[in-house]
Structure 1
């Protein structure tokens, strides 16, 4: 069974999401940005979503978790809860 490990940063608006993505591209650590900016309760653990399987996240996010490269950051990705930056930490069978 496929298991995914990832972190994310949830933001209310696209402009802020783009700004935080730029901070990451400029070298700031994803975990630190999540703690500072994410509006999700996972912010206290640096945006860590733990380990989960396919179908446990909204479809628009699941597509990134399943199709993105491990070690990469994606976003902003829109969902019903706002905009997300996603860091894929790993996948195991």
Structure 2
């Protein structure tokens, strides 16, 4: 596998942020990076109408708690990992398409549904096509590529760098929605 140089990493970081619906970030030097314990972006509020939407409120609450479990950087983690992911968005997430009307609870439960299918042996590429709402994800099999911790939002990085090779995360929430992250290298 060909390793990307510094310019390739900047391009990859820009691609990831744009793929998740964000604007491409400007490259930063280590001195400009936020401290390790920087505050996370505020989470969108729960919709409050989970019951009205026919959602099992207890199951949705458990899903959201799992998706927001605290993960920390550990001393033995590699400097880079290669990951794929599935992104399920909900109304109010950062850069969500206006056509997305599902509640936060519905999105979390949808991500759990995809997770459960994957645990039962479903093909990751097929699940990306069926569940992921990241532009272009289906054509890339959900690939984000090789990332450094500083290239992605903290909850995503914490989960991705906690994985062993060929391991999938549980549901993870970021300001972009709910993710399932699979570490391939």
Compare the two structures and name the one with the higher strand fraction.
Answer: 1
Q: Does the aligned pair in 2 maintain the 1:35–1:45 contact within 8 Å?
A: no
When Rg is computed on C-alpha atoms for both structures, the one with the higher figure is 2
Gaps of 5+ in 1: none
Q: CA deviation at 1:68?
A: 1.4
d(CA) in 1 for partners of 2:146, 2:138: 16
Partner of 2:148: 53
Structure 1: distance between partners of 2:129 and 2:81 = 21
CA contact (8 A) 2:160 2:169 kept: no
Give unpaired runs (5+ residues) of structure 2.
1-77, 90-106
User: Following superposition, which runs of at least 4 residues in structure 1 exceed 4 angstroms of deviation?
Assistant: none
Using the size of structure 1 for normalisation, the TM-score is 0.88
CA–CA separation in structure 2 for the residues paired with 1:71 and 1:60: 19
TM-score, normalised with respect to structure 2: 0.46
TM-aligned CA deviation for residue 70 of structure 1: 1.3
SS of residue matched to 2:139 = helix
State the number of aligned residues: 90
Q: Which has the higher contact order (CA 8 A, sep 6+)?
A: 1
Q: Once the 2 structures are TM-superposed, how far is the Cα of residue 67 of structure 1 from its aligned partner?
A: 1.5
1:44 paired with 2:119, answer: no
Contact 1:10 1:39 in 2 (8 A): yes
Deviations 1:33-65 (A, max 9, x none): 112210012232110001121211110010112
2:119 aligns with one of 20, 25, 31:
25
- Supply the RMSD in Å over aligned alpha carbons: 1.4
Q: Distance in 1 between matches of 2:138 and 2:119?
A: 19
Map of 1:82 onto structure 2? 177
1:11 is aligned to 88
Check whether the contact 2:164–2:183 (CA below 8 A) recurs between aligned residues: yes
Give the one of 150, 157, 163 matched to 1:68: 163
